Amino acid sequence: MKMKLQKILSRFQKLHPKEIDLSLDRIKNLCKKLGNPQDKIKAISVVGTNAKNSTINGIFAILKEANFKCNVYTSPHILRINERFVFNNDELSDDELADLFEEVESINDNKPITFFEILTACYFFKAAQYPDNINIIEAGLFHRFDATNILKENLASVVTSISKDHLDWLEKDQQTIEKIVFEKTSKLLKSNIIVAKQNSKKTMDCIKKTIYQNPSNKVFFNDDFSYLVGENDFFYYEDKLGGLKLPMPNVLGQFQLENISTAIATLRTLDLDIKDEHIQRGITKISSVARLQEIKHGKLKKLVKNNTLIVDGSHNEDGARVLNEYLQSLDCNKHIIVGMMANKDHEKYISYFKDISSITTIDLKTQLNSISGKDLKKKFKIMPNVQYQPSIEQAIKSINLKQGDLLLITGSLYGAAEALMLN
């Protein structure tokens, strides 16, 4: 069946010559043929640059703990496309996914449509079969013309951290935070808008200005909800409904407390039947793949022996910033293996990392649009102790790890996926 699934996906990729072509016409036309399934579901939409997936995982974990049935749509996938299609709290099987794709493919009748658009239409079509479920939907590249933005109404729009990324899809004179905020937030639906912590006052002010005329109920980090790190493995969450003393979640990095707080604020704003104990238990069961994921077993772990191995898909400056904050909190030597896509700001990304013992650049051989490890090494000349190795395995073997050292593989979700598949 996996081969059948791959053949269908290959056909999907040939339906439109451009990977991304910002428009809503194609998906609207297809969804109309499908009976406008997007009008039959209730959804929490999640937009932003970073932390979308982590925030979704937090919302999902809490809802499951409170016995809600959920459908979840995320992108990109890390290991299997099935990750993008969760219904009734479980991923679709290969058979179910192939059947779904074939049905929608037949209805599309070879009309031009991008890969992401037809996948989104498939999700809506399936989601409409579960009208009572809560849908958690991650927006793609930008929100204003994103395929997910054809809902007539939703339960809430969650705005995670916004920063500069995917700039190659904007004109040179439009590569500003103001423009990115506009693209992501100017067309949010009228419902509830929950805005997470931003990396600067300028960005938060820009969001507030952009959504000022949106009549939604608005909830902002710091103004309406916040968190505080406590002692003895607890943290405190607070909003207008009161405070919660919560256990530390099962995910690494203090920045994850920001994402979890946003998830809690979203669910408490919606006034769902969620009790404090659901939140307390839910945040200890969050699944996080390729987001500060510690690898404790497998082939790559054997290569690093007793040292810590972490895989993280961060690929832009805001991701690098929070990743460095986490590394700085650790008292050990840090080594980084980096592979990146060609369209990223490589120098800016690496400049955020401080006190790194070694940096090894690698090739992402499965990605045609990646930068070669040799060229990446040249871009990283501002950093000390940079070397090049062709692959992740060769990179690990070349690094002189001492007892207690940490090794991080980062720079791209594709690189993170490659590491996890190798393992």
Containing structural domain, residue 240: 2-282
Spatial distance between the Cα atoms of 377 and 41, rounded to a whole number of angstroms: 48
Spatial distance between the Cα atoms of 262 and 271, rounded to a whole number of angstroms: 15
pLDDT (mean) for 238-253: 95
Best-predicted range by mean pLDDT (67-76, 142-151, 250-259): 67-76
Say what the pLDDT of residue 20 is.
67
Query: What order of strands is seen across the sheet that includes strand 242-247?
Result: 225-229, 234-239, 242-247
The verdict on 268 and 312 lying in the same domain is: no
For residue 288, is it within any domain?
no
1 — pLDDT class (breaks 50, 70, 90): low
Cβ contacts of residue 337 below 8 Å, gap of 6+? 359, 360, 361, 362, 392, 395, 396, 399, 407, 408, 409, 410
Q: Is the pLDDT assigned to residue 168 strictly greater than 70? A: no
Say what the pLDDT of residue 172 is.
73
The verdict on 188 and 107 lying in the same domain is: yes
Tokens 């404090």 locate to 276
Of the candidates 141, 79, 96, the one whose C-alpha atom is nearest the C-alpha of residue 316 is: 141
The verdict on 236 and 319 lying in the same domain is: no
Residue-averaged pLDDT of the chain = 94
The residue that leads in pLDDT, 174 or 53, is 53
What are 395-420's pLDDT values in tens digits?
A: 999 999 999 999 999 999 999 999 99
The verdict on 18 and 131 lying in the same domain is: yes
46 — pLDDT class (breaks 50, 70, 90): very high
The verdict on 272 and 303 lying in the same domain is: no
Q: How many domains is the chain partitioned into structurally? A: 2
The verdict on 169 and 216 lying in the same domain is: yes
The verdict on 205 and 311 lying in the same domain is: no
What are 341-387's pLDDT values in tens digits?
A: 999 999 999 999 999 999 999 999 889 899 999 999 999 999 999 99
293 — pLDDT class (breaks 50, 70, 90): very high
What are 14-41's pLDDT values in tens digits?
A: 998 776 677 899 999 999 999 999 999 9
Spatial distance between the Cα atoms of 176 and 210, rounded to a whole number of angstroms: 14
The verdict on 19 and 106 lying in the same domain is: yes
Q: Is the pLDDT assigned to residue 230 strictly greater than 90? A: no
The verdict on 369 and 315 lying in the same domain is: yes
pLDDT (mean) for 259-279: 97
What are 212-226's pLDDT values in tens digits?
A: 999 999 999 999 999
- Percent pLDDT > 90 in the chain is 87
Say what the pLDDT of residue 16 is.
86
Is the dihedral angle over the CA atoms 164, 267, 74, 134 positive or is it negative?
negative
For residue 246, is it within any domain?
yes
Of the candidates 229, 165, 173, 239, the one whose C-alpha atom is nearest the C-alpha of residue 203 is: 165
Q: Is the pLDDT assigned to residue 338 strictly greater than 80? A: yes
